[in-house]
């Protein structure tokens, strides 16, 4: 079998790339290890930058987002037992973020793909990537018990942090930068009205970080920082709600509406960048190339930005025969990625309790938060990073 662009992974990166390439008249085949239901069952990101919202509209998958997404003009920071609003829109000339779950973005993209009759193969295994350093790369995989081979002009590695694409780049070519954090996030989803429907709440407390987010006006998403070796079984719903309450200011805690959880999961936190993002005919995008701790809500947004640059680079190649945008893809993407890495690392460091955070460390975090919420200059640096830096820097 042959295709122009073989996309590995049907997460948000792979699906959005497939959609943008289809609009540009470029053939693409998506192969995915899991089933569609499994992909849709992973509860992950919830906050979309304006750049991502615009891109989803441009890709023709913005109808439901426009109706069901909740626009947030600010965020709230809780520290020293008090809640403070950061007027993100006011500080960035009107830019906002939108609460709309990654599962919904994925569902919209999957539906657009199947409605257009575009090809995807789910449930692939034993994937190997071949001749990536030539202009005739090909892959072999198993699907429905049959071994298949596909040749392509280009391969897009959209297969996430644990995928096969990055692992196919020789060690001497790839440079990896990594930091792991000594705690995780315990996330819980519940069909209860969000405690703060108009702004995400980020809380710093001596007991650790907490986050109040939402998926809709009737579905909440909350997180608490937890030790990495905690297990889900250690956290029944009552313990979760109690811990969350303890980390919030009294007013927010008193307004919290609790209920039965419908999902709970523990995620480790990691910062990671792989350079370069291109090797021969292989291009990496999204979590395959970089990971940020979720504190800045940047992961999915960075993935969307990579895909935008990659789709337009591939379109320049097929439409105009120009390779310049492809040749500079890695460098241009990485410029923005490193800035987002810095922001996510900084906000993570500011908001969490580390094993070596002593009383002095706690007061330093609180002093920085007090500065952030009282200085327009400081608040602006937070706001402009939170809504997302311009696509091309």
Among the listed residues 72, 95, 298, 336, the single contact to ligand RFL using CB under 6 A: 298
Residue 221 binding target from ligand PHB, ligand RFL, none, CB below 5 to 8 Å by type: ligand PHB
Q: At its nearest, how many Å lie between ligand RFL and the CB of residue 360? A: 30
Among the listed residues 294, 329, 345, 352, the single contact to ligand RFL using CB under 6 A: 294
Residue 299 binding target from ligand PHB, ligand RFL, none, CB below 5 to 8 Å by type: ligand RFL
- Look up residue 73 and give its DSSP letter: S
Q: At its nearest, how many Å lie between ligand PHB and the CB of residue 43? A: 8
Residue 74's H or E segment, with its range, is strand 74-79
Among the listed residues 5, 6, 8, 186, the single contact to ligand RFL using CB under 6 A: 8
- With 0-12 / 13-18 / 19 or more C-beta atoms within 10 angstroms meaning exposed / middle / buried, residue 306 is buried
Site string for ligand PHB, 79-108 (x = CB under 6 A): ------------------------------
Among the listed residues 113, 221, 332, 353, the single contact to ligand PHB using CB under 6 A: 221
Residue 18 binding target from ligand RFL, ligand PHB, none, CB below 5 to 8 Å by type: none
User: Which token pair is 30?
Assistant: 């998506």
Q: Is 297 in the site for ligand RFL (CB under 6 A)?
A: yes
Residue 49's H or E segment, with its range, is strand 47-49
Query: How many Å apart are CA 15 and CA 102, to the nearest integer?
Result: 12
Among the listed residues 120, 216, 295, 330, the single contact to ligand PHB using CB under 6 A: 295
CB atoms near residue 88 (< 10 Å): 23
Residue 301 binding target from ligand PHB, ligand RFL, none, CB below 5 to 8 Å by type: ligand RFL
Query: How many Å apart are CA 300 and CA 83, to the nearest integer?
Result: 27
| Active site positions, annotated | 72, 202, 294, 298, 386
Q: Which of residues 31-70 bind ligand PHB (CB under 6 A)?
A: 45-47
Q: Is 59 in the site for ligand RFL (CB under 6 A)?
A: no
CB atoms near residue 348 (< 10 Å): 22
- Nearest Cα to Cα of residue 29 among 160, 122, 147: 122
User: Which token pair is 242?
Assistant: 């109690």
End-to-end, the C-alpha distance of the chain in Å comes to 39
Q: Is 297 within 8 Å of 45 (Cβ atoms)?
A: yes
Q: At its nearest, how many Å lie between ligand RFL and the CB of residue 69? A: 13
In three-state secondary structure terms, 287 is helix
Among the listed residues 159, 275, 341, 366, the single contact to ligand RFL using CB under 6 A: 159
Reply yes or no: is the peptide bond before residue 240 cis, omega within 30 of 0: no
Q: Is 297 in the site for ligand PHB (CB under 6 A)?
A: yes
Q: Which of residues 169-188 bind ligand RFL (CB under 6 A)?
A: 185, 187
User: Which token pair is 306?
Assistant: 């990579």
Q: At its nearest, how many Å lie between ligand RFL and the CB of residue 270? A: 8
Residue 357 binding target from ligand PHB, ligand RFL, none, CB below 5 to 8 Å by type: none
Angle (CA) 82 83 87, round 5°: 145
Q: Is 101 in the site for ligand RFL (CB under 6 A)?
A: no
H-helix segments, the chain: 12-23, 36-41, 50-58, 63-68, 88-91, 102-115, 237-247, 250-255, 299-320, 324-327, 329-351, 359-372, 376-386
Q: Is 379 in the site for ligand RFL (CB under 6 A)?
A: no
Q: Is 243 in the site for ligand RFL (CB under 6 A)?
A: no
b/e map 51-61, b = 16+ CB within 10 Å = bbbebbeebeb
Among the listed residues 249, 294, 332, 383, the single contact to ligand PHB using CB under 6 A: 294
Q: Is 160 in the site for ligand RFL (CB under 6 A)?
A: yes
Residues that bind ligand RFL (CB under 6 A): 8-14, 31-34, 39, 44-47, 102, 124, 127, 158-160, 163-164, 185, 187, 267, 286-287, 294, 297-301, 303
């Amino acid at each position: 079998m042959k295709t122009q662009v073989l996309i590995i992974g049907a997460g948000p990166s792979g699906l959005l790339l497939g959609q943008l390439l289809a609009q540009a008249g470029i053939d693409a085949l998506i192969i995915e290890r899991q089933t569609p239901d499994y992909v849709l069952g992973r509860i992950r990101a919830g906050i979309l930058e304006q750049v991502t919202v615009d891109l989803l509209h441009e890709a023709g998958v913005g109808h439901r987002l426009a109706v069901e997404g909740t626009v947030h003009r600010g965020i709230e920071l809780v520290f020293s037992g008090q809640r403070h609003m950061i007027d993100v829109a006011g500080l960035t000339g009107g830019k906002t973020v939108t609460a709309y779950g990654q599962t919904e973005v994925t569902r919209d993209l999957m539906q657009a793909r199947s409605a257009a009759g575009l090809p995807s193969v789910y449930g692939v295994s034993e994937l190997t990537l071949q001749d990536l350093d030539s202009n005739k790369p090909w892959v072999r995989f198993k699907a429905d018990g049959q071994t298949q081979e596909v040749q392509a002009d280009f391969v897009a590695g959209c297969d996430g942090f644990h995928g096969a694409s990055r692992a196919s780049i020789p060690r001497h070519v790839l440079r990896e930068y990594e930091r792991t954090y000594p705690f995780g996030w315990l996330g819980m989803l519940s069909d209860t009205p969000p405690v703060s429907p108009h702004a995400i709440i980020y809380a710093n407390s001596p007991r650790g970080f907490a986050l109040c987010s939402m998926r809709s006006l009737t579905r909440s998403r909350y997180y608490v920082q937890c030790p990495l070796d905690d297990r889900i079984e250690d956290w029944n719903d009552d313990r979760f709600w109690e811990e969350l309450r303890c980390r919030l200011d009294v007013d927010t805690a008193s307004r919290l509406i609790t209920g039965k959880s419908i999902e709970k999961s523990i995620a480790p936190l990691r910062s990671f960048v792989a350079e370069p993002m291109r090797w021969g005919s292989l291009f990496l995008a999204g979590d395959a190339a970089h990971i940020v701790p979720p504190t800045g809500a940047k992961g999915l947004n960075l993935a969307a930005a990579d895909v935008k640059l990659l789709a337009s680079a591939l379109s320049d190649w097929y439409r105009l025969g120009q390779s310049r945008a492809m040749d500079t893809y890695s460098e241009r993407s990485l410029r923005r990625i490193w800035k987002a890495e810095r922001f996510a690392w900084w906000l993570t460091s500011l908001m969490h309790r580390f094993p070596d955070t002593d009383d002095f460390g706690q007061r330093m975090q609180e002093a920085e938060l007090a500065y952030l919420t009282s200085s327009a200059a400081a608040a602006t640096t937070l706001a402009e990073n939170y809504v997302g830096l311009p696509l091309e820097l």
